[in-house]
Amino acid sequence: RQYQHHDAVLHAAREGILLVDGDRRLTLVNDEARRLLELPPDAEGARVDQLDLPRGSAALLLSGREATDEMITVGDRLLAVNQR
């Protein structure tokens, strides 16, 4: 029941949320992140460097470095990215 609650909250969030493990694989992608980054339905489980991500977002995710409100251009959008 708690899992269902957390899953519903993550997928209802207006912010894009990605979880990346130590091997740089996407372990969770919520609906907004999928839309903003134009990720395919099978993105979860894929390595970040295997996805067709915009250069700035891929580099940040692969670096693993901390970022606060870092601006990345994705298509005609400007995204503020936070990474911990």
Tens-binned pLDDT, residue by residue, of the chain (84 aa):
877 777 777 667 788 888 889 999 999 888 888 888 889 989 999 999 999 888 788 888 888 899 998 898 888 888 888 888
Fold of 2-83: Beta-Lactamase (3.30.450)
β-pairing verdict for 18-20 and 26-29: antiparallel
pLDDT at 66: 92
Nearest of 16, 8, 60 to residue 36 by alpha carbon? 16
State which H helix or E strand residue 29 sits in. Answer: strand 26-29
66-73: long-range contacts (C-beta < 8 A, 24 or more apart)? none
pLDDT at 47: 94
